[in-house]
Amino acid sequence: MSILTSASSSSVSRGYNYYKHNKISGINQLNDYEFEGYVDGSLKNPYYVKINIEHPRKSYCDCPHANGNTTCKHMTALYFELFPDEVEDYESWLNSDYDEYEEDEYYDYDSYYDESDDDYYDYRGHSKFEKPLFFDEVLEKYVGDLNVEQLRETLLAELKNNEKRTFELYLEKNYKNYLQKDSENFVFLDKLRKKVQDLISYYNYDYNNFDKEILNVREKRKIEELYKNKILQSQIDKILLNEKLSVYSDYRWVASFYKRNKSYDEINDYCKILSNYLASLKHYNIKNTVPKSNVLITIYLLNDFTVSEVSSSLLKNAKYLQYVDYIVENSSNVLELYSEFMKLINKNYFKNKMYIPDVLYRFVSITDHENKDISMNHYLYSYLCLGHTEYLDILGYYLTEDKIISTIESKTKDIFLLIKLYKFYDKKEKLWNLLIDSNYRYLLLDNIEILKDKYNDELYSHFINEFYNILKVGKSRDIYNKSSKYIKAISRLNNGEEFVKKVIMDLKSSDYQKCSALFNEIDNALKN
């Protein structure tokens, strides 16, 4: 779930409008997952917004509509400002032609159709035509008033209105005769059309087998030959310029073919269709990443992207590993592409972070593990993105301990990554300073063993203060239970048993001496 999918379609749309009108200011990154900022609204002062991209339901806005777990328009506005690639995807969706019955995460059918729209009742199927009294007479007069050219245009328009019926009633014999004029070429194209239609038909569209052959060697040669004929070009285009074919690996030949034979504007128009189709595929529940990778490869082959544009696409589409493999393996300058990719992730490695190590590994593989800089960054970002400490061990082959620590500290504010880092290298002082001077002091409870030898007294002072601060809140079983966790923590310190005895003695000589519920909770905490 993301910020956009957790919001209503109205909140996404209105948040997008806020973004387009530059309503967002004061953006600040709190950690890898949390961001804050201000969004101008209807009041004099802007709303304070904090979003959590890892757990959207933990986001916050002080507007009246964001109470509870509601994702409001101000949250989506901040999200759009932070992630311009999401803006591109949303705008692609806005400009795409979806099947009117296809569900997706942005679409809101009830709000789309307005009852004042002339087509509303036709869409709902409520209208029923009643033939007027003088229909036949008016029709005859209308036809009689048309000249030959108008009659031809009207007849063509009506015959094209139901192509299946027209073909079956009027054209089937003529179609066969037409093919016989140039039987070899026309029959070839007709068979090719049927082959393609069979591939992309609803029943044969197999989302697990996209290595099917679209064109064999003979067919490719024939297409190259026939495309020299201006009359046949449009027929070939009708067959092959079909975005649904782009999910097949074999379509790469078609992309290269059209790159040589189409103008820039024609290719650009087709790429827009492909981009819209890719956006629609992203809304389908397809676990196989091959079809989307193949569409991305087709778009790449049709264009002359700069290295910067390619690296941006790699980061944006990092989870489509077949696409990543193709781009890296076919790059004319792998080191330049790697350099541009590193510039991007050095700025914001939190985008698609779980896939970044895979992309970097592709660069490692293509350079045969010989480039130490690429290998080192692969392990560095594997730790930053995935948090596995075994990567710290491997980094020791490339950097000193102090250099590893300073490098990671400069790249992340994620407290959990830093805790793992300091524990791995036994940096007690850094760990203590990190936890005691933050909003994460509760994590001291999980790090007693590593800290107690050096900070035993400080830990006792902190835990006993927390114990009494919680008791001050009130007298209830729940409060006693929460406070007793700190007695348990004290028991784990050096000389913990003596500390606990002293606390219990102090309680028994205080106002809590008759509070059996408190002593029961302490006893349960110490036993568990």
Amino acid 293: pLDDT: 94
Q: Which amino acid is at 251?
A: Y
**DSSP one-letter string for 149-194:** HHHHHHHHHHHHHTHHHHIIIIIHHHHHHHHHHTHHHHHHHHHHHH
* Residue 301, both tokens: 């082959």
Instruction: Report how far residue 65's alpha carbon sits from residue 60's, in angstroms, rounded to the nearest whole number.
Output: 11
DSSP-derived secondary structure for 394-422: HHTTTS-HHHHHHHHHHH---HHHHHHHH
The candidate with the shortest Cα–Cα distance to 299, out of 278, 320, 316, is 278
pLDDT of residue 84: 82
Give SS3 for 319: coil
Compute the chain's Rg from CA coordinates.
33
Over the range 316-349, which residues count as b (16 or more CB within 10 Å of their CB) and which as e? bbbebbbbbbbbbeebeebeebbebbbebbeeeb
Residue appearing with tokens 């959590």: 52
**Domain spans, the chain:** 1-82, 205-304, 305-425, 455-527
**pLDDT tens by residue, the chain, 528 residues:** 678 888 888 889 899 989 988 899 888 887 778 888 899 887 777 888 888 888 888 888 888 777 656 789 999 999 999 888 788 888 877 776 444 333 344 434 333 333 333 333 333 344 567 888 788 888 888 888 989 898 888 888 888 888 888 888 877 777 666 655 656 788 888 889 999 888 887 545 556 678 888 999 999 999 999 999 888 899 899 999 999 999 999 999 999 999 999 999 999 999 999 998 888 787 766 678 899 999 999 999 999 999 999 999 999 999 999 999 999 999 999 999 999 999 999 887 777 888 999 999 999 999 888 899 999 999 999 999 999 999 999 999 999 999 999 999 999 888 999 999 999 999 999 999 999 876 888 899 999 999 999 999 999 999 999 999 999 888 899 999 999 999 999 999 999 999 999 999 999 998 888 899 999 999 999 988
Q: What is the pLDDT of residue 121?
A: 35
Q: What is the pLDDT of residue 208?
A: 62
Residue 461 identity = S
Place of tokens 């019926």: 165
Give the per-residue pLDDT at 180: 59
Distance CA 412, CA 31 (A): 7
pLDDT (0 to 100) of residue 27 = 86
* Calpha distance 412→398 (Å, rounded): 20
First CA to last CA distance, the chain: 36
In whole angstroms, what is the distance from residue 182 CA to residue 266 CA? Answer: 28
Query: Which amino acid would we find at residue 416?
Result: F
CA distances from 484 to 449, 471, 497, 507 (A): 19, 10, 14, 12
Distance CA 133, CA 124 (A): 26
Query: b/e string for 231-269 if b means 16 or more Cβ within 10 A?
Result: ebeebbbebbbbbbbbbbbbbbebbebbeeebeeeebee
Contact 247, 326 (CB under 8 A): no
Q: Which amino acid appears at position 274 of this protein?
A: L
Distance CA 299, CA 304 (A): 10
According to DSSP, the residues that pair with 38 across neighbouring strands are 25, 48
CA dist 414 and 409 (Å) reads: 9
Residues 286-322: pLDDT tens digits? Answer: 678 899 999 999 999 999 999 999 999 999 999 999 9
Reference 462, options 481, 478, 482, 448; nearest CA is 448
- Give the per-residue pLDDT at 181: 60
Q: Tokens 């957790």 — which residue? A: 6
In this structure, the strands spanning 24-29 and 60-61 are unpaired
